[in-house]
Amino acid sequence: MRKFLLISVIFLTSSLKVLATEFDCKNINSAQEITDNFERTSNWKKFHKPKEYALIGEFPAEYINQFYYQPGEPHLEDKIISDFDESLANEAGVKIAIRVRYLGHDKNENRALVSEYVIPGFYFEVAEGIIAGSDRGEFGGDLFFIDRNKKVLKLADINVQDIFKFGSSYVVVSGLDHLGFEYGKLHLLNFSEGKPIFELFFNLTGSPKKLIRINSDSLLLKFRRNSYLFNIKGILSRVACE
């Protein structure tokens, strides 16, 4: 008897999922895509400034120490110091350009201070400042927050595909599909007293091939073999849509 009830519950749940999927698809297929008001810049490959290298020995120890993590600091791949580069922005004809510095190695594998230049692929102005993202494919990507005083904070080493505003929060979609390596993630970005709080929301089945904002509270993520619907309540559900 208990086994029969369990099978009935499973069947009923499956039926509800099918109905929900059909209902979602009717809305999705008839919806008009909504585009958030992003400022798009030229592709990063159209303006590329080579990295610059300086041997660590050329700088005092006090200067170099700031590139090492201290207890309690957030962890990125490298301790990075980011600055708004107005001259580079003017040279490239864009609104935002960023210079990042970190400890690495030069072309001869000598330990060096590396300066790298990033022109975000898009940016989004918010009440607290500017959210900016870049996707350089296999060469990496970045998510930055720039406050009203043009102080730059790098939030993550991710290939940012797009950013969507949901209420007072922002959903950051990242992903990469390159030479057999593939990943995809949904991140949540909020602000508290003007400071960004960035956290992982969902690990995805891969890198989304298409992102469609279908209304004010829903986002469709299309992959090679399936699609998922994300809504403002934080629910990610699989849908079988055209």
Collect all residues with Cβ–Cβ distance below 8 Å to 73 and sequence separation of at least 6. 79
- Would you list the domain boundaries of the chain? 36-209
Rounded mean pLDDT for each run of 10 residues along the chain, 242 residues in total: 40 36 55 62 74 95 93 84 94 91 94 94 89 86 94 93 87 87 90 92 88 82 85 83 60
pTM: 0.80
Question: Tokens in use for 83?
Answer: 């600055």
Cα separation, 155 vs 174, in Å, equals 13
Q: What are the CA-CA distances from residue 160 to residues 91, 123, 133, 192, 214 (Å)?
A: 24, 11, 6, 22, 20
Report pLDDT for 188.
92
Angle at 163 between CA 143 and CA 120, to 5 degrees: 45
Residue 68: DSSP 8-state = S
Residue 40, classed as helix, strand or coil, is strand
Could you identify the residue written with the tokens 């399936």?
Answer: 226
